[in-house]
A = this chain, B = another copy of it.
Amino acid sequence: MSRNEQDLGTRQQHHYFFKNGTMDFYAGWLLGYSQLGALAPGALYHCLNQVADGDPASWVRAFEQGLRFQQAQAREAEAAGAPSRASHAHFAAATAARAALNFCPPGEAATEAMADDLERSFQAGLRTGGFAVTPWDIPFGQAHLPAYVSRDVERAQTVVVVVGGGDTHREDLWYFGGRAALEAGYGVLLCDLPGQGRTPSRGLHFGEPTVEALRVALLALRARGFGGRVVLVGWSGGGLFTAKYVERFGEEISAWVASTPISDMARLFEEAMPAMMRGRLSRGWARAMLGAAARLSPVLDASLRKYEWQFGADVGAMVERFRVMGRVDLARLDVPLLALVGTSEAAEGQRQAREVFEAVRARQPASRLVEFGPESGADAHCQVNNLPLAFDHLFAWLSTLGLGPAARA
């Protein structure tokens, strides 16, 4: 595999820092956040400079040190009565914790403590920065869905609901459009669904419940008194979850944005597996071969452990889980779609995005597909290295649909 290829199949065109593809993708992703008020490039590279290429434990140590430093800076700034500096430091601390979580062994006490740090620092950043957004635990069976919601969401005319994928916490959704939408004047709902964020520690895993939970979250929003329009924005795996939602409850949704829209996750997952997995090996064989590969690559090993924790199942069962969820019935998708497609996405992902887009456009001619090439810097998975360009397209498109951030009632 080349240095620019992801261990788990997500390619990227550019080289940022590491030879290890997964680490390099994470480095680029964090760099993308630096545009949006997270860890500054200098502070980020201070951490990256402490990481041994391909060594997940050194990554965790480096970002934990960054977290402790930023926490101390935030305390100092609060004591000095400097709220802007405090807010920046809190958000930087949250980003360092979030980065560490990429390679923390899932389910361990130290990892849960790191997730506590992520939440505390992020929420302190919101508070000291004066953002009108609050945490919200949405009841879901015996558990709850951890969310953030804009304070006066009931009075919003339009709410942007950001849905993440296989590697997001609700705090990530702030950078994937939450903050931009809030500042543009929209209401926002940022919600962890089963399998995302910390939910696997509470017995929630990826699969059918992920889509059911999105239904529960949107009903909870209505129950709060929100009577306006809903825009669904799905990133990565969120491109499947929002597609499934639009398939079933499209009449409730005014616009759908996805990077990228996904119709068949089982197939995408199989194509994204390392080459040796692409044949239909038995689950036992697949696991054995992945296990051998993981012994050679601690990064791959850490990534697999995390996926297994999120699914509550081994790798073979993941594909099976999506096969049970089934393909999205394209004939039932009838909501205006903005499809965002980076040219460095896996070929199968690009193919599905175009297929979904063509199907939707036939019924909804206001639909658009925007392709991002390497020069744009937005060609990576989910446009992580130029999210503002994605947002420019998103908000301009919503305006053409009459879904601009109208004055509140």
Q: A34 contacts which of B35, B66, B82, B379 (Cβ < 8 Å)? A: B35
Interface segment, one of A42-50, A97-105, A311-319: A42-50
Task: Decide: B49 and A15 in contact? CB cutoff 8 A.
Answer: yes
How far, in whole Å, are A379 and B13 apart by their CA atoms in the complex?
30
Nearest chain B residue, comparing its CB with the CB of A45 = B14
Q: What chain B residues lie within 8 Å of A44 (beta carbons)?
A: 377
Q: Is A254 an interface residue (CB 8 A)?
A: no
Q: Which of A13, A77, A84 has the most CB of B within 10 A?
A: A84
Chain A contact residues, majority secondary structure: helix
A42–B378 contact, CB under 8 A? yes
Chain B residues whose CB sits within 8 angstroms of the CB of A28 once the complex forms: 41-42, 45
Q: Which of A185-193, A221-229, A380-388 lies at the interface with chain B? A: A380-388
CA distance A82 to B393 in the complex (A): 8
Copies in the complex: 2
Complex contact B32–A376 (CB within 8 A): no
Residue A328 CB within 8 A of the other chain: no
A59 to chain B, nearest CB (A): 16
Residue of B nearest to A30 (CB): B41
Asked if B41 and A34 sit within 8 Å, CB to CB, the answer is yes
Is B15 a contact of A45 with CB atoms below 8 Å?
Answer: yes
Contact flag A45-B392 (CB < 8 Å), given A40-B377, A73-B376, A375-B69: no
Distance of A214 Cα from B34 Cα, bound (Å)? 34
Residues of B within 8 A of A291 (CB): none
A16 and B40 contacting across the interface, CB-CB below 8 Å: no
